[in-house]
Structure 1
């Protein structure tokens, strides 16, 4: 298969589109850039352009990532932190991103998840039932102390 050749300007436009479609982190953009086999100077030029023209903004990415994963996938803060660290997001931006999650909404969502999971489990043994719910929520990245509190309140 023949490799396509692009000018630096074409690659720059392609990456602008890539960033406009969805907020991206530096790691994703650098991975995409590496597909084009550019010289380091060209990569730097394109990254600098994306940063200067606000196509690439790590804080904005972290905030929208945290909001989206919490609201849509119902992830807990632990999982969101782990995923942001995996994407090499700075500690400052992770803290800022977590402020996007309203504390009251966070607790309400946890209790809704516990109730929903409790209804969907057919297990009759209360301890096994609790363990299944706790494992489910741990995987989703919710804090243990909050999980135990909610499970003990709802599952009786």
Structure 2
């Protein structure tokens, strides 16, 4: 049987490898057969020693999913909620996304996608495909249609 101190070290290493949420750590502790008060004590220790910080997780997650994968706010928010983060942490994470960068990213991905669709002759089909693509990436429908109108005027 593994000593509980060893499990705490494993949990600390698990958190040090990459940012984690409380739920992810709790789930991993259950795999290691640590439940209840003992698991909560370990989580408290990890929080106090700054191995575990959900605000930091939300900031890094939101920022990287936006910059690297070019996800929209809706998809990022949905993923943060799915990871059981508090509304406060979600709000902190979403603040990492600059409004101007957000619009520029949306314009860039739509223009790139429009270029890929250059063989399509029907403008309405192009608009529909662009909208479906951007909305699927988590961008807000109203904003997507506004930007599509701008880039379709450019020709």
| TM-score, normalization by structure 2 | 0.94
List alignment gaps of at least 5 residues for structure 2: none
| Counterpart residue number, 2:145 | 148
Say which is worse superposed, 82-91 or 36-45, in terms of deviation: 36-45
Residue of structure 2 equivalent to 1:35: 31
- What residue is the counterpart of 1:138 in the other structure? 135
Tell me the CA shift for residue 41 of structure 1: 2.9
* Structure-1 residue corresponding to 2:19: 23
Q: Supply the distance in 1 between the matched residues of 2:2 and 2:121 (Cα, whole angstroms).
A: 62
1:114-138 CA deviation, whole Å, 9 max, x = no partner? 1001011232211111111111111
How much has 1:30 moved relative to structure 2?
Answer: 1.1
Shift of 1:39: 4.0
Distance 1:91 1:125 in 2: 43
Give the drift of 1:32: 0.9
Aligned pair 1:129/2:126, yes or no?
A: yes
Q: Do structure 1's residue 61 and structure 2's residue 57 form an aligned pair?
A: yes
Question: Do structure 1's residue 74 and structure 2's residue 92 form an aligned pair?
Answer: no
The secondary structure found in structure 2 opposite 1:155 is helix
**Distance between the aligned counterparts of 2:82 and 2:50, measured in 1?**
22
Unaligned runs of 5+ in 1: none
- Answer yes or no: is the 8 Å Cα contact 2:21–2:57 preserved in 1: yes
Instruction: Tell me if structure 2 keeps the 8 A contact 1:8–1:42.
Output: no
TM-score by length of 1: 0.93
CA RMSD of aligned residues (A): 1.1
